[in-house]
Structure 1
């Protein structure tokens, strides 16, 4: 079901192989590797692979790197109060390097395929990881960075007493952005208020002029109506006089 071309090709080959390459248990797979004389490879998790590699008869080995990376988890009942405590404890043990120390103790120091005694068959990558972790815990890496980045820098103070320090980005560093935002909002509100007052004043003037015009027009229209009535009556009277 994988969409990765390499994995899909591996699955197609394994499924069509004869005899079948699949086994039911890890023990069965390891036994088949030991009996195949180098003609069979068994895929399993790296932790178990490294553990079996350190057990007699010491005739297996890990080939290549890991296909992917996954972590282990400790299961707790749903909604359990132990969940956060366990998570914090595991993170603390990992940061302190205790988990790596325990793995080295039980995988390699007590392994049956080492050079004997307390010698541990630790891979080069494991040795580098432990060394870097130890240097980080002792603060050596930070000291080296300050020495070569700042103490010997060409753009700052060169004396060892004045060391350039980096600080985390805080609210004061970005306060100017908020000041500009608040100022823009205040200016927009002021412009809106002025526009509202101007339109209200103009509307009041327009309504006042319309009201005055309405008060004047009724008398003019009344006079015009009276005049038209009088003229009409005069015309009718004149016509009747002509007829007579």
Structure 2
């Protein structure tokens, strides 16, 4: 397996393996994002009047432009930008507006392959649709970073002067797998129980006292690879600084 260097913006280059399923920091970060905020879209495309064939493409959504460019450098595809409003997962009475970047991979291509695989079933999922992360076990930091940026929330809790990190998703099995990854990471990261959200999904939180050490570990060294969303890192760092000031 050989790596190639693909430029994103400016002087940043991302090392990318030739196999999108190979264990590698870039693929771990990419599939973390896919698991957290991606979906396989199936559509019918008319080839001729007498023939229809099904095409599949992958869509990954992020609120950070740099991260979208990095994901495109890893897997190819086109990026669409729009502003969207959505209900807050924990409280549907709150609506937030934010930039949204959607990376579409394989859309409009004549090939029936997706990332070099014949169907979505060849991607890192098992027969029940659950993601298989074993290939990325040596790159848990990048995998968890992708998951946090894909389906995680970061907030400063003014009532307690602490930082909150939560993972929110409609797929309970994905959050259970994320809890297992957190249990195995090299810094002590206790988490709460899985609970239902008001919107019908699921969520769990990292223990507030563990967030500063976990967050520092999660983004340590990320600038050397470029595999991160700068806006999410800034929010986490600002929140931790607020918590430190609160203690003083």
Same fold flag (TM > 0.5) = no
Structure with the larger helix share: 1
Give the structure, 1 or 2, with the largest relative contact order (CA under 8 Å, sep 6 or more).
Answer: 2
- Which band: TM-score by shorter chain? under 0.3
Structure with the larger strand share: 2
Question: When the two structures are superposed, what TM-score results if normalisation uses the length of structure 2?
Answer: 0.23
**Rg larger in structure:** 1
Question: When the two structures are superposed, what TM-score results if normalisation uses the length of structure 1?
Answer: 0.24
